[in-house]
Amino acid sequence: MTIAALNWGELSPEKFLAEYWQKKPLLIKQAFKNFKDTIPADELAGLAMEAEIESRIVSVDNKGNWQVDHGPFEDFSQYGEENWTLLVQAVNNWSRPTNSLLQPFAFIPRWRIDDVMVSFSTPNGGVGAHLDQYDVFIIQGSGKRRWQVGAPNKALSTLLPHPDLKQVSAFEPLIDEITEAGDLLYIPPNHPHNGVSIENSVNFSIGFQAPSSQELWSSFADKLIDNNLGELRFSDTARKVTDSSTLISKADQQQLKAFMLEQLEDTALFEQFIGQYLTQSHHALELLMPVNEIDADKLADILSEPEILFMPVSGLKAAITSEAEITLFLNGDSFPIDKQSLPLAELLAEQSPLTTNQVKSFNSCLKNTQLLTSVLNKGYWYIE
């Protein structure tokens, strides 16, 4: 399924990034002409029945009492016909048409995007006014929804109507509109927002990953520990006599800080860490590992068939780094690349389906063959 190009109107990706990205919310009416849901509501409900897929239902009764139930679900009849929302995380990992919703946002690096959450809401369904710590694009699918979006406001109170539901107090909206199929809403971090369904409706929320400094430092420390790095002890061979034995001097502090940062300044190490960290999926993937491992001879046999497609699994995160050494990263795994195999690595990172003839054109090079068999055996790519 191919998604139509994003209709920016008087805007452009460059203008959007300069004027709106992480600055102020934006609603683009009919950003996608003739938009159709990429997944039917009953198929979304089916995903919510799977244990490995994160899902929840948020509901509110006529007295304003909120309830949150976590999947997997066996039945939805108890929820009635209004006042509830089903939210399913990382639907793009299981629905290739939903994964194609990322195409119009390729002006932002793929590593920055987390997943596509899909919600189905009955009339008056929603999760209440809240704010997120990350950017989100929301594409309105079928049905209509009223969206209100405000500006950051430290005076807003945090509300916990349920232990699993964090909301905020009422806010003054900058945007107060009814969205219809194909409308696109952009909400920057920390902007309060509230969406209430007018009728049965579907929303596609493209959420971005924004790691905290704490998360990055913690994961980098784990990398050092896992690889037995950073074991060198601090030394100060140029030590001078101190005027005060109780003082941690500015010079000592600077030396200790430089000592700690030495590992970060190791470009090869940092590239390995950041490539693995940023491409690691936060949600389950439908990996398709072959029953029998594919080697060079097996690949040659496969390529004797004329009509074969080599496909990436849906939702796969991929990236390439090239400052220290060229490396392809897929779902947190790293594959060293040289200039000869770079064209193939770029196609793999772009997740373009590969035909038999395309693969044959690469397979005359041993390093390409090794790369192809590696990604196939890992289950990141499969033969259709």
Q: Is the pLDDT confidence value at 1 over 80?
A: no
pLDDT, tens digit, 9 for 90 and up, residues 258-285: 999 999 999 999 999 999 999 999 999 9
Six token digits for residue 373: 């068999």
Q: What is the pLDDT of residue 307?
A: 82
Q: Is the pLDDT confidence value at 305 over 90?
A: no
Six token digits for residue 21: 């990205």
- Residue 314, helix vs strand vs coil: coil
Q: How confident is the model at residue 202 (pLDDT cuts 50, 70, 90)?
A: very high
Percentage of residues of the chain with pLDDT beyond 70: 99
Q: What is the pLDDT of residue 2?
A: 63
147-151, 318-322, 362-366: the lowest-pLDDT one: 362-366
Averaged pLDDT for residues 308-328? 92
Contact 122, 196 (CB under 8 A): no
Cα 284 to Cα 298: distance, rounded to the nearest angstrom: 28
User: pLDDT higher for 38 or 307?
Assistant: 38
Q: What is the pLDDT of residue 363?
A: 86
Q: Is the pLDDT confidence value at 314 over 90?
A: yes
Q: How confident is the model at residue 230 (pLDDT cuts 50, 70, 90)?
A: confident
Cα 285 to Cα 316: distance, rounded to the nearest angstrom: 7
Task: Give this prediction's pTM.
Answer: 0.92
For the chain, how long is the longest CA-to-CA vector? 80
Integer CA distances (angstroms), 163 to 14, 26, 67, 69, 85, in order: 41, 31, 9, 11, 17
Contacts of 340 (CB under 8 A, 6+ apart): 365, 367, 368
pLDDT, tens digit, 9 for 90 and up, residues 33-62: 999 999 999 999 999 999 999 999 999 998
Any idea what DSSP says for residue 329? E
pLDDT, tens digit, 9 for 90 and up, residues 58-83: 999 989 999 999 999 999 999 999 99
Per-position b or e across 201-225, b if 16+ CB within 10 A of its CB: bbbbbbbbbeeeeeeeeeebeebee
Q: Is the pLDDT confidence value at 3 over 80?
A: no
Integer CA distances (angstroms), 322 to 122, 150, 279, 299, 326, in order: 48, 41, 15, 28, 4
Averaged pLDDT for residues 214-239? 92
Q: What is the pLDDT of residue 30?
A: 97
Q: How confident is the model at residue 352 (pLDDT cuts 50, 70, 90)?
A: confident
Cα 70 to Cα 68: distance, rounded to the nearest angstrom: 7
Six token digits for residue 199: 């009728």
Averaged pLDDT for residues 226-246? 90
In order of start, what are the domains of the chain with their CATH numbers? 13-208 (2.60.120.650), 213-260 (no CATH), 296-383 (3.40.366.30)
For the chain, what percentages of helix, strand and coil (3-state, to nearest 5) are there? Answer: 30, 25, 50
pLDDT, tens digit, 9 for 90 and up, residues 15-37: 999 999 999 999 999 999 999 99
Query: What strand order describes the sheet that includes 145-150?
Result: 173-179, 145-150, 193-197
Averaged pLDDT for residues 358-372? 91
Q: What is the pLDDT of residue 257?
A: 94
Q: Is the pLDDT confidence value at 88 over 90?
A: yes
Q: What is the DSSP annotation of 123-154? A: TT----SB--SS-EEEEE-SS-EEEEEE---T
Averaged pLDDT for residues 156-166? 96
Q: What is the pLDDT of residue 308?
A: 85
Q: How confident is the model at residue 384 (pLDDT cuts 50, 70, 90)?
A: confident
- Of 308, 304, 346, 312, which Cα lies nearest the Cα of 327? 346
Q: Is the pLDDT confidence value at 95 over 80?
A: yes
Contact 49, 72 (CB under 8 A): yes
